Chain A
Amino acid sequence: MIGEYVTFQLDKCTGCAHCVKACPTRAIRIRSLKAVHHPDLCIGCGECLRVCPEGVIQSNVESRFPLDPDKTNAAIISPVLYSQFPDTMPCDVLRAVKEMGFDHVVDLSFHLEMFQFAVEGFIAQNRETRQAPFPLISPICPVVIRLIALKHPTLLDNILPIRRPAVMIADDVRKKLQSIHNITASEIEIFHITPCPSKALSQEMVLKDEIGSVDRTIGINAVYPELCKHVENIREMELDIYDTDPFANIPNARGPMWSKSGGEINPLRDEGMLSVSGLQEIRRCLEKIEMGVFDEMNYIELRVCPQGCLGGPLTAVDRHMAKQTVQKLVRTFGVNRRLPPYKLQRLYDRGWFFANIRPSDLTGYYPDQRQALTIDQMQEIENLLSLLPGIDCAVCGAPDCRTFAEDVVRGRARRSDCFRLREIDNGKEGDT
């Protein structure tokens, strides 16, 4: 069973159906003028909360975060956070987070570089034999992974079986903290500050072996107001290059670059790579991968959010502004490689990068809740469709006419929910 990524506060719901139309997996309907959510189909993309005009829908990523003073609190920072503060050095953003009361703030740059090393290594190892199914699909965006599990299960094998950087780092940090402070794992609380509603349930992140890697997730938009104040103060201070936190290793622009579409593959030297962002584009791209259109490609970066993670629903500033900030950071700080390849190679050979569980094990993760239709039912849907207005008005409570027809055939909606069918059916009664 999948946990829930979003919560609906129905007292405020007006039944406007904006969310119904926005949901890519058609997991929402309107019934009796209120939204009805089907969590078993939800992939946590957050499209619904972007469009709701009444603020009914909340991400289950936390917005309040009282820190437990008895614990060692560490915050892993999504690189998107740097894009939210124009003209601010990434290390100052990290300091500002620390001012909020965290004992440690953790930057991802090195782990991004490690991940990228592993991508190149995996491709080099499998390119000739084409043993692994190509094109490989990036494992980074959890929403994409869930979309694949739900709609394109044959592509699960194409997902690169390398652990995501945030997961590698969470495990690393927990071990390091235990030895530095001489404490037990349970005395540590690891936070992830993120733009991404799909991280709502850290214990159910993407692959099962990620369970427990992060304890709590917080939305960037939740910390933003307080952070702004700290950033302001720090900007007023004298330049201080001697940071004290061992985890806040001076970030370069690899992180900020990563947060925008293409940033995962751009630092790599491989011609056979593509990057795609935005839900519609991704859905099209997955269909094409399934039809063999991209068989010659090596690797495809897919991010469900428009322009990449910096367009995530839980960000605080306009995504075009954020992109601008990223470009400046890239110009100023660069994305140099800083880790010795031979050491990375040693880790790779030891299997350190690999997830214990193959993504294909996710097949059982979304036991398709909807029973397959029979051929007769499918024909019935086509017949019904020819009667429907075809304008996808959503007044019936379904996102489009086809889905409504399917709901009727499955016994989940009544013909009379559609104004046109109501007219037709009433007309018939009149005749007899």
Chain B
Amino acid sequence: MAALKKSFQLKSRDFMHAGEASISVQNMLKQIGIEPALIRRVAICAYEGEMNAVTHGENGNFRIEVNTDKIILDISDEGPGIEDIEKAMEKGFSTATEEYREMGFGAGMGLPNMETNSDRMDIESEKGQGTRVVMRFSLSPGSRKNET
């Protein structure tokens, strides 16, 4: 089955280039004619995920896979990990430092946004080991979030 795979290395704290992986994903999805509203959802998730790996993690890896029936975003890093995932998922929860807040991050909305904009999101994380967030988007029409 046809599948398109691409991966990017993310550099921690490199805010000049952070977001570039998400932008090239956005452009790629446009070229293969994915419906604009879905592209927007994927783009939001990709960006928030990329930013988390860049701000909170180390040695981030960003992968995208497009199949005929789904898109998978798989973003992992070898950073400090998330201690309490449930807590991290709460709107407004953030451990971002003052320095990051000044740059406009740290509203604690990243993970909640990723959750609402993907059809399914799984987080694996262990303290001191790193974090992996996998988001799936269904490509067949009519199989939106609430139906599955």
Contacts and interface: CB of A to CB of B under 8 A. Distances in A.
Q: Do A and B come from one complex?
A: yes
A151 B43 CA distance: 14
Identify whether the interface residues of A are mostly helix, strand, loop, or mixed. helix
Residue with the greatest number of chain B CB neighbours at <10 A, chosen from A153, A154, A291, A373? A291
A373 B3 CA distance: 13
Given A292-B113, A293-B47, A373 B33 contact: yes
Interface in A52-105: none
A382 interface: yes
- Please classify the interface of chain B as helix (H, G, I), strand (E, B), loop, or mixed, using the class held by over half of its residues: helix
Given A287-B23, A291-B26, A374 B36 contact: no
B28 A291 contact: no
Nearest to B33: A372
A110 B118 CA distance: 47
B32 A372 contact: yes
Contact of B66 (A284, A292, A375): A375
Contact of B32 (A284, A287, A374): A374
B36 A291 contact: no
Interface in B1-56: 2-4, 6, 19, 22-23, 26, 28, 30-33, 36-37, 39-40, 43-44, 46-48
Nearest to B1: A375
B36 A154 contact: yes
B32 A291 contact: no
Contacts of B66: 375, 378
A398 B49 CA distance: 34
A291 B22 contact: yes
B68 interface: yes
A378 B4 contact: yes
A288 B40 CA distance: 11
B33 A375 contact: no
A254 to B, nearest CB: 31
A373 B43 contact: no
A236 interface: no
A208 B36 CA distance: 23
Given A290-B26, A291-B47, A292-B47, A373 B36 contact: no
B40 A379 contact: no
A154 B39 CA distance: 9
A373 B19 contact: no
B39 A375 contact: no
A374 B3 CA distance: 10
A154 B113 CA distance: 18
B132 to A, nearest CB: 21
Contacts of B22: 291
B19 A378 contact: no
A375 B19 contact: no
Contacts of B4: 375, 378-379, 382
A178 to B, nearest CB: 43
Contacts of B30: 151
A276 to B, nearest CB: 15
Contacts of A349: none
B68 to A, nearest CB: 7
Interface string A275-298: 000000000100110111100000
A376 interface: yes
B101 to A, nearest CB: 13
Nearest to B113: A292
B32 A290 contact: no
A378 B43 contact: no
A287 B48 CA distance: 14
A151 B23 CA distance: 13
B32 A373 contact: yes
Nearest to B46: A291
A279 B31 CA distance: 21
Interface in A349-396: 371-376, 378-379, 382
B33 A154 contact: no
A288 B28 contact: no
A287 B33 contact: no
Contact of B19 (A151, A288, A382): A288
Contacts of A284: 23
A365 to B, nearest CB: 15
Contacts of A153: 36
A291 B19 contact: yes
Interface string B71-112: 000000000000000000000000000000000000000000
Nearest to A375: B2
B49 to A, nearest CB: 11
A317 B85 CA distance: 59
Contacts of B48: 292
Contact of B44 (A292, A372, A379): A292
Contacts of B40: 154, 290
13 contacts: A284-B23, A287-B23, A287-B26, A288-B19, A291-B19, A291-B43, A291-B44, A292-B43, A373-B31, A375-B66, A378-B32, A379-B4, A382-B6
Interface of A: 151, 153-154, 284, 287-288, 290-293, 371-376, 378-379, 382, 406
Identify the 4 closest CB pairs spanning chains A and B, nearest first: A372-B33, A291-B47, A375-B2, A154-B36
